[in-house]
Chain A
Amino acid sequence: MNRTLHAAAGLAGITALLLAGCATQPAGETSTEDVTITYSNFISNGGNEENLAAIVEAFEAENPGITVEVTTLPYADYGTALQTDLAAGTVADVFDIEYANYAAYQANGVLAPLEVSTPDAYRPSLLEAYSTDGASYALPSSFSTVVMFYNADLFDAAGLEYPSAGWTWDDERAAAEALTDEAAGVWGDHQPVSFYEYYKVLAQNGEQFLADDGTSVAFNTPGGIEAAEWLVGKSGTVMPTIEQGQGTPDFDTNLFLEGKLGMLHTGIWMFGAFADVPFAWDIAVEPGNTDQASAVFSNAVGVSAASENVEAATKWAEFLTSSQTMVDIRLDAGWELPPVADEQALATYLEKDKPANRQAVFDSLDGVALPPVVAVGQTEMQDIIGEELVEAQAGRKTVEEALASAEERINALLAG
């Protein structure tokens, strides 16, 4: 009995190993005239499935002989599934990636270099973000920016001027303090304490996260400490503390929806959710301290280096990211912003109301803070800085201690 069990176990184990070992191995065989390519995505998840289907349909009509098979996964679990596929060599021909993971995938040879037929169609900064040594390894599929939302009624009630392009941190701080009325449960400002905010406020203060050679951090400077204090110091003065609920899902947007938040730093994806609120609101480019810098989040698609149909896959990737069909469908559905260079194509977006100042979305692109990216340890680096900043926010560490600790931990991580 024992022996049978061991034999069975051993056999299965060895089989599994052999397979797990060969990481990137081409899957299946095809390639006559008609090809089927697979596309694994999360971007359409949560309401845009039909919009993606419409883009696929238009592509297939334009490219007879190519069929696109779409698999949609929940955003939160997409990474787990993609990693499993990469490990087992079953990755789709075309798949979604996020900017933060681009460097690691590129460095590990997962992505095929792409021959982009119309590079001019893309917003240059976005295309550039997914290039390495002059070659494109992924194509941006959409972008969103983070801006400052404000409740105009609260500003009026306090007799304050609305935020405008020339604002700096000092203006924001003064307004936030004037707006905060703890007795009425009204708070002046809300900005998450996280990695994604920190690299941006560093840029707003003329600092950078990583040293130029990318092998150590550069944020533990007087300017970097000032930036961290700007983030963390809001908590308990003009922004609720963690104990009061800050940091729980949707806490900030709820507060804004209830008309109890003066200013909110969040992404333009919230336009739809705020469309029907019973008070006046608008947006402005985020104030900087020494520089103007805004966060841009972009998704992209890559073509698998192991794909048997790189050409057809590239065609689909380009269509998905730059075709007029895609632009029309995205703008019509309010499904983030297309990554195209031609601002004329985005005219309909600017014409829409709520918020009125949609121009701020494009103005924010004049100064973009890109996240620091490393090929090994990206996620862990993000986790560490987030954790240390929250320690400072909760008052368990001083800002100086938190940044010193983060510096030490991340440098150790980057040293390998």
Chain B
Amino acid sequence: MSILTPPAILPDATAAAAPRPVRPARRAGRSRAARIRYSLTVLAFLLPSAIPLGLFVLGPMIAAAWISLHDWNLIAPMRFVGVDNFAQLLADPATGEVFLHTVGYIVGYLPLVYIGGLLLALALNQSLRGRTLWRGIYFLPVVTSWIVVAIVWRWLLNPSTGIVNTALAAVGVDGPGWWTDPAWAMPSIVIASAWKDLGFVMVILLAGLQSINPDLYDAARVDGAGAWRRLVSITLPMLSPSTFFVVVISLINGFQVFDQVYAMTGGGPGGASQVVVQQIYDLTFRYGAAGEASALSWMLFAVILAVTVAQIIGQKRWVHYA
């Protein structure tokens, strides 16, 4: 690390978090008027988002919590049942299964989409002929609807006539049953999802890469750092806020995976790829159990919140802010 001598204006991002300047709020001896002015400033910056989020997201969330204590089919009047819905969900083996399938999805999806997206962003950050065009092409799947993507991937992964198994057969591998086989249904969804979302990760990481000061690289070259060294010592640390964002968002979205499952397997075969949110949708709109659905979504909420808070606490170890 000593070979790196970044320009003085930028803090050494590779070092452990540098001591922050003294925070204004903690500054002693500020006048009352100044404190009020500061509070108003904070409010002015926060209220435009706090009001709509409070009214139109938190409000309905709390309403959902209330509904979770009731037996309700959306049609007849609600009937208060206390925590019965939660007890029933905990006793039902299906609940554990849908959570397990969801976690299985995340475990497969996250490394694939992050590593793939990072490699793509790095490749398309190079000076390539027609770079904008390539970026556009890699972004296409992100904007294509799941209906179309699912049809194409089911076709590619068709166990008997699909291109994938045909190619595998050519090299002597007996391809799996993919989405027709309970053991391979979720991997099929994972592959299609990672493929579709590569462009999403690429866009976020490209923006992050663009924000890295090129002088850092020049300085590193002067110091004789090779490509790998530059990646590990400059790019990855400088990119860590973007990486953190991608991981947190992917986990939050991953726990709520639904569209692709619905389009690719409908939760089958035999419920092998049924995920939490699909269960929530079925309970609410198809099985007339809105109370149970709300209870299940609050259980999901608790899990996502725990995972996210753990990440926020853990980020201090590896995320480097300027």
Verify that A and B bind, or say they do not: yes
Across the interface, do A242 and B180 meet the contact criterion of CB distance under 8 Å?
yes
Give the residues from 43 to 62 in chain B that come closer than 8 angstroms, CB to CB, to chain A.
43, 46-47, 50-51, 54-56, 58-62
Stretch at the interface among B109-117, B202-210, B224-232, B282-290: B282-290
Closest Cβ of chain A to B43, distance in Å, is 7
Closest Cβ of chain A to B163, distance in Å, is 14
* Size category, B interface: 35 or more
For the complex, is B320 an interface residue (Cβ under 8 Å from A)?
Answer: no
The answer to whether residues A390 and B268 also contact, given A83-B285, A245-B158, A379-B286 and a CB cut-off of 8 A, is yes
Secondary structure at chain A's binding surface: helix, strand, loop or mixed?
helix
- Pick the residue among A15, A21, A377 that contacts B287 (CB under 8 A): A377
24 contacts between A and B (CB under 8 A): A1-B46, A4-B43, A4-B47, A8-B51, A12-B62, A13-B62, A13-B63, A13-B66, A16-B63, A17-B67, A20-B67, A21-B78, A23-B75, A79-B285, A87-B75, A87-B290, A104-B75, A248-B154, A376-B73, A379-B288, A380-B282, A383-B286, A394-B180, A394-B270
Closest Cβ of chain A to B80, distance in Å, is 11
Where the two chains meet, the residues of A that have a C-beta atom closer than 8 Å to any C-beta of B are 1, 4-5, 8-13, 15-17, 20-24, 79-80, 83-84, 86-87, 104-105, 108-110, 242-245, 248-249, 376-377, 379-380, 383, 387, 390-391, 394, 396
Across the interface, do B269 and A110 meet the contact criterion of CB distance under 8 Å?
no
- Pick the residue among A9, A22, A105, A244 that contacts B54 (CB under 8 A): A9
What string of 1s and 0s marks CB contacts (under 8 Å) between B70-112 and chain A?
A: 0001111110000000000000000000000000000000000
Across the interface, do B271 and A12 meet the contact criterion of CB distance under 8 Å?
no
Q: How far is the CA of A174 from the CA of B210 in the complex (A)?
A: 69
Q: How far is the CA of A86 from the CA of B58 in the complex (A)?
A: 23
Q: How far is the CA of A13 from the CA of B66 in the complex (A)?
A: 9
Across the interface, do A104 and B288 meet the contact criterion of CB distance under 8 Å?
yes
For the complex, is B42 an interface residue (Cβ under 8 Å from A)?
Answer: yes
- Pick the residue among A17, A86, A390 that contacts B63 (CB under 8 A): A17
List 19 extra interface pairs beyond A1-B43, A21-B77, CB under 8 A: A4-B43, A5-B54, A10-B62, A12-B56, A12-B60, A13-B61, A13-B63, A16-B60, A20-B63, A87-B75, A104-B73, A104-B288, A242-B180, A377-B288, A380-B282, A380-B286, A383-B282, A391-B270, A396-B269
Looking across the interface, which residue of chain A has its beta carbon closest to that of B51?
Answer: A8
Across the interface, do B287 and A394 meet the contact criterion of CB distance under 8 Å?
no
Q: How far is the CA of A9 from the CA of B60 in the complex (A)?
A: 8
For the complex, is B6 an interface residue (Cβ under 8 Å from A)?
Answer: no
Q: How far is the CA of A11 from the CA of B59 in the complex (A)?
A: 7
Closest Cβ of chain B to A20, distance in Å, is 6
The answer to whether residues A244 and B66 also contact, given A5-B50, A15-B59, A21-B77 and a CB cut-off of 8 A, is no
